[in-house]
Structure 1
Amino acid sequence: MSATEFFTALPVSAALAGFRPLRRTGTEEVDRAAALGRVPAAPVASGAALPGFARSTVDGYAVRAADTYGAGEALPAYFDLVGAVRMGSAPDAAVRPGGAVQIPTGAAIPPGADAVVMVEHTQVTMPGVIEVTRPVAVGGGIVRADEDVAVGAELAPAGRALRAQDLGLLAAAGVTRVEVRARPRVGIISTGDEVVPPDTADLGPGQVRDATASALAALTEEAGGAPSLRGIVPDDAEALAAALAAAVRDCDVVVVSAGSSVGARDETAAAVRALADSRVYCHGLAIKPGKPTLLAECSGVPVVGLPGNPLSALVVFRQVGLPVLRRVGGIALPPAEPTATAAMARAVASAAGRLDVVQVRVRDGVATPLFGASALLSLLTSADGYIVIPEAATGIDEDAQVTVTMYR
């Protein structure tokens, strides 16, 4: 396809379903303390039952449940107090018929007991004797030895980033090291004769600071990747091809910003095709903003070519680039995004067959759409989140209830 030819935009759903790079990062072993957010390469199984012993869930008295049957306020059941269990120690007394052992929450159940009656349902009538005013069923007030986790049970699945609660369960099971996927190394290439580094103090005529690369790097880190900023490449086919080849050699995903518009200055597709073992999957997505998007593979490394405008580039990277990054990093169960339900402040039109991503501000349960040119990065910073108008829809009515994906 020449630079002047029109292209057919592929639906985003079709692109996500069809563009399935096989590349996966390798694995490494990390300490549990450093495993937050890392992705287990295989399910983590427990080598022991948890809690490992039957324990009380309430403060009260360990008893035989059968001895409490029929007990009530008018006719309590009486028990001989035969001992007490200390936390962190094995019980030194057994429960016999008509006997009870005092026990705190979390302590080990003494032999002979099959229930714990809550202290609120008891009363000490005389030294060494308690009365129980409510019956308790077998197993009441008790956690079984393997009720939390059975031997061999899955502590954490493969493909889901480890959360704080996961690390707590691993600690309880005595897991000290975890085999995880290496973080995907994401090469970020900026292109354009007009693009200059962000620390440029004084801009020349027509120059713009590279805002997109910094935002892409932050999104990459949020998604569990390791950004590798590859600098700015001028609008030169040979220079871009060289930069792409270098990035493909040592990265797991390559992202090119600003070089994917179909036109005389588009060099990304040509540079990809110039590399050995390359394949362009699509050049053009039915998404607004962000239509001129490129998806390709070079030597098995996925390449995502983004539009030049920062807003468009970041919208497309969220919708398409992050799923690719997560796939390469072995994330089969991506984290759920925070959402809110709101009513649309006004109607928004859309074209059937195109995915529209609309930035919104949310106040008091009302979502107000924010519109402007795709070069305006301030639209993103002003937004609380965004809504997605599905490809089959032709718009959203005023007052319609929508789901807003909130920015963190």
Structure 2
Amino acid sequence: MSGREFFTARTVAEALAEFRPARRTKAESVGLAAALHRVPAEDVVAPAPLPGFARSTVDGYAVRAADTYGASDGLPSYLDLLGAVRMGAAPEVAVRPGGCVAVPTGGVLPEGADAVVMVEFTAETLPGCVEVTRPVAPGGGVVRADEDVAAGTALVPAGRPLRAPDLGMLAAAGVTSVAAHARPRVAIISTGDEVVPPDTAQLTAGQVRDATASALAGLVADAGGEPVQAGIVTDEPGALRERLTEALVDADLVVISAGSSVGARDETAGAVAALGTVWCHGLAIKPGKPTLLAECGGVPVLGLPGNPLSALVVFRLVGVPLVWRLAGCEDPPPEPARRARLARNLASAAGRLDVVQVRLVDGTDGRAAEPLFGPSALLSVLTRADGYVVVPEPATGLDAGTEVEVTLYR
């Protein structure tokens, strides 16, 4: 050991609230077909009202509501059938007092009408005569011309990832492309003399295939980023600094896997400090304490622990929100979660955040969260887990039977 120590250790909550690099990706024009989950750089406003015309929400008859007042099964109102509205066409007839016009769902409301009575409450007792057995109020069975969206109002807001209904709204308004933030380019650097590429056919004693980089790339892509594999760097002095300098040229975020601890072989802190400012070295979290957050030339840098489980836990909690923020989304979409009861006691230490992998099983009183334990070098703990439970900093543990929120893996 070199005698180096962690410094400026922070809580995860502090890291999320206070490590807020100003960098944001540039805006680019994105067609609707590729816009799902992209983040608009500005509000997209409606060029015209939607749906653009008053239309019926039911199959029935367009009427003057006043002509139906008092109608009942025993004393129906009788209206003259004046014509019919064709779908996709403007009405060719207006509604006059004492008359009605047949209209399908989605059809244009004819002039003179202020409501549509459902066909279920009508009958054509005689040719050209409609019997109405239920009254309808003004506006009943009708959508106003601007009821969905008024002209000039926001169809979708800036800073919120686009969802499938948003794409439908944009299409309905005739908006076929949006100005969205470019996907953040996330350079992933792996370190260590023992680390070799995944396609290495035969390992020698002491070698390990680079599993973390592939998993990190998946998390980056899931958060809307563009992962860039920046290769494996040996423990030779100066090698990491050189690779980091290269990566900073066109990356929006640099992630360094391994080398962030305080051993003699751990070069991340020194390389980063030589090129920028270290915001913290050490997070109050288990697993994942040897985490580094920094900025180099305006580009955020995240140094992760070498153990795969620790690295992925930290990146999911800290790195994923950072990727979203770089893409212009200040409040990342929440991960799916569900409530369950702990299947056994969980020990913890006050002052740190414990992240425990769990498997969901059927318990005697509903869904149970069964903790999974194992060394942080074992990826199988993560692959067997359905999600994780967070034990907050003030707690010294959680008792079996406690209701907890399980954040689910998708």
Evaluate the alpha carbon distance shift between residue 3 and residue 95 of structure 1 in structure 2; reply closer, same or farther with a 3 A threshold. Answer: farther
What is the distance in 1 between the residues matched to 2:14 and 2:31? 39
Amino acid at match of 1:404: V
The equivalent of 1:402 in structure 2 is: 404
What is the distance in 2 between the residues matched to 1:151 and 1:398? 55
The equivalent of 2:201 in structure 1 is: 201
Q: CA deviation at 1:159?
A: 1.1
What is the distance in 2 between the residues matched to 1:309 and 1:320? 16
Q: Superposed, which structure 2 residues align to 1:172-187 within 5 Å?
A: 172-187=172-187
Q: How many residues align?
A: 405
Q: Is the 8 A contact 2:30 2:177 kept in 1?
A: yes
Deviation readout 1:198-254 (Å, 9 max, x if unpaired): 010100111000000000011100101001101000012310000011111110000
Deviation readout 1:325-349 (Å, 9 max, x if unpaired): 1111111232221111111101112
Q: CA deviation at 1:292?
A: 0.4
What is the distance in 1 between the residues matched to 2:3 and 2:78? 92
> 346, 351, 354: which is aligned to 2:352?
354
List alignment gaps of at least 5 residues for structure 1.
none
What is the distance in 2 between the residues matched to 1:159 and 1:3? 44
Q: Is the 8 A contact 2:59 2:118 kept in 1?
A: yes
Amino acid at match of 1:250: D
Q: Is the 8 A contact 2:6 2:282 kept in 1?
A: no
> 362, 384, 403: which is aligned to 2:386?
384
Q: Is the 8 A contact 2:194 2:208 kept in 1?
A: yes
Q: Is the 8 A contact 1:236 1:267 kept in 2?
A: no
TM-score (norm 1): 0.98
SS in 1 for 2:120: helix
SS in 2 for 1:136: coil
Q: Superposed, which structure 2 residues align to 1:34-113 within 5 Å?
A: 34-113=34-113
Amino acid at match of 1:147: E
Q: Is the 8 A contact 1:25 1:330 kept in 2?
A: yes
What is the distance in 1 between the residues matched to 2:373 and 2:308? 15
What is the distance in 2 between the residues matched to 1:256 and 1:57? 56
Deviation readout 1:36-63 (Å, 9 max, x if unpaired): 1211100111101000000000000000
Q: Superposed, which structure 2 residues align to 1:124-203 within 5 Å?
A: 124-203=124-203
What is the distance in 2 between the residues matched to 1:231 and 1:267? 16
Q: Superposed, which structure 2 residues align to 1:211-290 within 5 Å?
A: 211-275=211-275, 278-290=276-288
The equivalent of 1:312 in structure 2 is: 310
The equivalent of 2:32 in structure 1 is: 32
Q: Give every structure 1 segment of 4 or more consecutive aligned residues whose post-TM-superposition deviation is greater than 2 Å.
A: 2-9
Amino acid at match of 2:302: V
What is the distance in 2 between the residues matched to 1:235 and 1:228? 21
Q: CA deviation at 1:120?
A: 0.5
What is the distance in 2 between the residues matched to 1:334 and 1:268? 28
SS in 1 for 2:284: strand
Q: Is the 8 A contact 1:237 1:271 kept in 2?
A: no
Q: CA deviation at 1:266?
A: 1.4
Farther off after superposition, 393-402 or 176-185? 393-402
Q: CA deviation at 1:360?
A: 0.5
What is the distance in 1 between the residues matched to 2:60 and 2:200? 70
What is the distance in 2 between the residues matched to 1:8 and 1:347? 32
SS in 2 for 1:383: coil
SS in 2 for 1:89: coil
What is the distance in 1 between the residues matched to 2:35 and 2:142? 32
What is the distance in 1 between the residues matched to 2:301 and 2:237? 16
Amino acid at match of 1:381: T
